Structure 1
């Protein structure tokens, strides 16, 4: 599995590549840069560098790429397991269509969810500097005549899926990327951006707000939300410490759809989230009732990836409700 991380290794060999990359789980400070790595089937990790990493993706059998940004309180093995599950579901739906590439940022390894939450918010913000550099590095590689000559361009479509606090990482990353490297505006880099159980303010995607650059960099921005997401209820309470009383985007969807850019869509997952992820109802975008069998949220994500359209039968539609299927048992 190919992945990118801002998490520090136990031994940093920079500027040389690290052939035995081991995460330092006691350190939740983000690196100033990012590490491009490959993890083999027995779990060993090798740092391969950005050029080899991007070349491997370009030469892979997959037609599209999905960048996966995980949520809070996830250690690397948790992220790998979730990414492997999502990759397996993708392969079952259409082999060779979608390559899942996790981005791992340094969640805390402490005991206690509240302490973890605040430490992870800080780590999410710090990691944005490294990942902004990552996107700029990608643009330089994509525009390079050596890496991508006219007769052999990279034609992979790029999608991004951010879960929970991973939405904060994405929001901060794009904001910093625009500020320091793309002051004229972000390029249209992502075909689809999926914001799932987003742990950011529900006004974040409004025009003029901190998350607006997400819509500038994406053809489609799809928000999946559920009002009974227990993890986000705890998040709202925790954020009262900073006098941030607004509801979360993953609870309500955008506060006012009329104030969001036209390419933002909202999907109500109230009917399925706690069925797929009892009792929290927070991680409902992979398998359904049975692990390894897709749920309706995954089905909608994958169909959007295939078509590039959120509601292909009604282009003017901006929102929908996902329900459990009645005709067959969805695992």
Structure 2
């Protein structure tokens, strides 16, 4: 499994091709460096370097790539990598050459470390944007160096869960600020924001999250009003004088103020059944371990490039346990 991270390794912070890579979980403040790596097995990783890593992506038989940006309170093992493995298994069961899932790992939540609570995880998410924006620019430079015969033509998708949406939003903002003229390119086929822990106005014009929809052919917001993890998030933000509902609770505040490629997907009927009792990690599987309604909805968008909605005018859709008659 290929992955990219700005968590510092044990030992030297300098890139060394093919060295053993070990996360230093005592350090959970973001690094300025990006490490392009491969997971060989549980707690077994090597560093590939950006050139070899990008070529591995290009040469993969998968037609599309899905970058998964995890949420807060998630460690590489046992949280992030097993989730990605399960996602990959679900895609492979549909078509082994459809999607390659690549986790994007940013530093958060390790009790003995520097960053200990939710509010500091937000700071870590924001600071991670600097290194990941550099990675985006490195990808664009690498792509521009390809010849017509070797150009990577894979479609790229983003799945950002919880505070991973904040990481993605701020990454585009930093990329736009430092490397682009004024506006981001249309780089992603689908962006899936699941239980997004960012304010619900963020996709509107003159808000920083607008760049996410500008960079995507489709942007789907999956939300649930009874997501208990986001209720705790709201309380933490109120404590720190940020008073706004979360995008993962309500969907976009006003659909008329967001771009026409933004879709609101109501997951109230399934989130607590899939992830009891918090109702927050509901994009993976149903309660029986099989792919759930959220995964099936994302899969259709990845395969077709179009987002299924029952109401094309309002761009709203409700996910149910069984198809509505």
Aligned 1:78-93 pairs, distance under 5 A: 78-93=79-94
Return the alpha-carbon distance in structure 1 between the equivalents of residues 90 and 157 of structure 2: 16
Runs of 4+ aligned residues of structure 1 deviating over 4 Å after TM superposition are 312-317
1:33 deviation in Å?
1.7
For residues 222-272 of structure 1, the C-alpha deviation after alignment (integer angstroms, 9 at most, x for no partner) is: 000000000000000000122111110000000000011111110000000
Return the alpha-carbon distance in structure 2 between the equivalents of residues 72 and 129 of structure 1: 18
Matched, 1:294 2:295: no
Find the counterpart in structure 1 of residue 252 from structure 2.
254
Find the counterpart in structure 2 of residue 213 from structure 1.
211
Q: Helix, strand or coil: the match of 1:143?
A: helix
Find the counterpart in structure 2 of residue 227 from structure 1.
225
| Aligned-residue CA RMSD (Å) | 1.8
Find the counterpart in structure 2 of residue 11 from structure 1.
11
1:87 deviation in Å?
0.7
Return the alpha-carbon distance in structure 1 between the equivalents of residues 33 and 22 of structure 2: 16
1:32 deviation in Å?
0.5
Matched, 1:324 2:296: no
Find the counterpart in structure 2 of residue 67 from structure 1.
67
> Do the aligned partners of residues 312 and 257 (structure 1) sit closer, same or farther apart at CA in structure 2, a change above 3 Å counting?
closer
**Structure 2 contact 309–315 (Cα < 8 Å) conserved:** no
1:20 deviation in Å?
1.0
Q: Helix, strand or coil: the match of 2:32?
A: strand
1:42 deviation in Å?
4.9
**Structure 1 contact 63–98 (Cα < 8 Å) conserved:** yes
TM-score (norm 2): 0.95
Matched, 1:51 2:47: no
TM-score (norm 1): 0.94
Find the counterpart in structure 1 of residue 262 from structure 2.
264
Return the alpha-carbon distance in structure 2 between the equivalents of residues 181 and 66 of structure 1: 23
Find the counterpart in structure 2 of residue 139 from structure 1.
140
- Alignment gaps of 5+ in structure 2: none
Matched, 1:34 2:34: yes
Return the alpha-carbon distance in structure 2 between the equivalents of residues 60 and 6 of structure 1: 23
1:311 deviation in Å?
2.3
Return the alpha-carbon distance in structure 2 between the equivalents of residues 44 and 115 of structure 1: 25
For residues 209-229 of structure 1, the C-alpha deviation after alignment (integer angstroms, 9 at most, x for no partner) is: 110000111000000000000
